[in-house]
Amino acid sequence: MTAQFPTATRIPADVPARAGAGLKGEHIPEILESRADLGFFEVHAENYMGAGGAPHRLLEAIREIYPLSLHGVGLSIGGEGPLDKAHLARLAELNRRYQPGLFSEHLAWSTHDTTYYNDLLPVPYDGTTLQRVCDHIDEVQETVGRRMLLENPSTYVAFAQSTMSEIDFLTEITRRTGCGLLLDVNNVHVSSINHERSAEDYLAEFPMDAVGELHLGGHAPDTDDAGRPLLIDAHDREVDEAVWALYELVLRKTGPLPTLIEWDNDVPAWPVLLAEAQAADRILAEAADRPLKQAG
C-alpha cells in the first residue's frame, strides 16, 4: 500500500512546545479548580472508549482549557493478526470528538488470536514485520484521517531473527507511511542499559526530523539472573537524572518539542506531578534560546 501522507517530516502539532502531564482522574477536580499553567494533557485513548458518562464530562471540561494529546495503548500495531476494526473505529471517533493536537500509538503488540495482554510487547526487526507494521499504520492513518506518531519501545531482550537495527526499522516506517515518531527518552535509557549499548550513540542516529513529541518517565532498577543491571519501564517515580541529561541532549538536536511527563503507577499528588512538568518546562525554555546542534 502506498502512503498518502508526506513522508519523514515532522507533523505540525496543535500542541505547544511545552511540558504536559498524563491526565489522571483523581487529579481532575484540583486541575479544574487551580487551572495550573501547563502546556497540555495526554490521555490514554482506551480510558475514553465508552459513549458517555462522567469520564467524558470531565475530559470535555479539561479540553475546554487545555490542548490534548491522544495516546493509544491497545491497538497492537505490531500484532500478527489484523487490526481490531471496532477498536480502530472507536479510536477514530475519539479523534473526531476531541480533535487532539497529537495522536500516537506504540511500536508493540498486545493481542494474539482472541487473547489480549496487558503488556506492550516488542517486535522483531525484519522485513516481514516491517511490512505488517507499515500496513497497519496505513490502515490507522486512513481510518482516522490524520498522521500518527509511533513510539519507540523499551526492550529487555533482542530477537535472533532481527535483520535490521531499531533505528533503521523506525526510519523505514516513517519513509513508507509518512507517520511521525514519538521519542520516549526514558525508553532509550532503559533499552540502552538492558542491552549494554550507548544511549548517546542511539540518539545520534535517531531520525530527529520525524519526532513530534517527547516522553519522559521513571523506571525501576532491578538485576537480571546474572546479576547485571536491568531497568523496568515502570512509570512509577520521578524522572531519573540520566534521563534528564538525555532529554537536554535531544533538545539540542530538535529544539523545543511537546514533552510529556508519564507517571502511571504509584501516581503522586497533583503538585508532585506538576513540579516534574515544570522542571521540563524550564529545560524547554533554555533550549528555546540555544542554536540547534547539527545531527551526527
Angle of helix 166-177 versus helix 127-144 axis, rounded to 10: 40
Q: Is the pLDDT of residue 21 over 70?
A: yes
pLDDT, position 9: 63
Distance, in Å, from the CA atom of 153 to the CA atom of 84, rounded to the nearest integer, reads 21
Confidence of residue 12 (pLDDT cuts 50, 70, 90): low
pLDDT in tens, 131-159: 999 999 999 999 999 999 999 999 998 99
Q: Is the pLDDT of residue 8 over 60?
A: no
Output the pTM of the full model: 0.93
pLDDT, position 78: 92
Average pLDDT, rounded, for the chain: 93
Q: State the cell numbers at 198.
A: 550507548
Confidence of residue 93 (pLDDT cuts 50, 70, 90): very high
pLDDT in tens, 206-256: 999 999 999 999 999 999 988 999 999 999 999 999 999 999 999 999 999
> Which residue is associated with the grid cell 502539532?
13
Residues of the chain with pLDDT > 90, as a percent, come to: 82
Per mean pLDDT, which range of 7-21, 179-193, 220-234, 235-249 is the poorest? 7-21
Per mean pLDDT, which range of 75-89, 106-120, 124-138, 227-241 is the poorest? 106-120
Residue 205: Cβ within 10 Å count: 15
**Alpha-carbon distances of 239 from 93, 148, 158, 182, 283, rounded to whole Å:** 33, 25, 25, 17, 13
Distance, in Å, from the CA atom of 226 to the CA atom of 111, rounded to the nearest integer, reads 30
Q: State the cell numbers at 212.
A: 513530534
pLDDT in tens, 25-80: 999 999 999 999 999 999 999 999 988 899 999 999 999 999 999 999 889 999 99
**Which residues contact residue 141 at a Cβ distance below 8 angstroms, ignoring those fewer than 6 apart?**
3, 4, 5, 147, 148, 177, 178, 179
Cβ atoms of residues 136 and 85 within 8 Å:
no
**Which residues contact residue 204 at a Cβ distance below 8 angstroms, ignoring those fewer than 6 apart?**
295, 296
CA atoms within a 13 Å half-sphere pointing along the CA-CB vector of 7: 13
| Furthest CA-CA distance within the chain | 53
pLDDT, position 281: 97
> Which residue is associated with the grid cell 489522571?
24
Cβ atoms of residues 231 and 190 within 8 Å:
yes
pLDDT, position 295: 53
pLDDT, position 103: 97
CA atoms within a 13 Å half-sphere pointing along the CA-CB vector of 44: 12
Helix (H) or strand (E) holding 288: helix 270-288
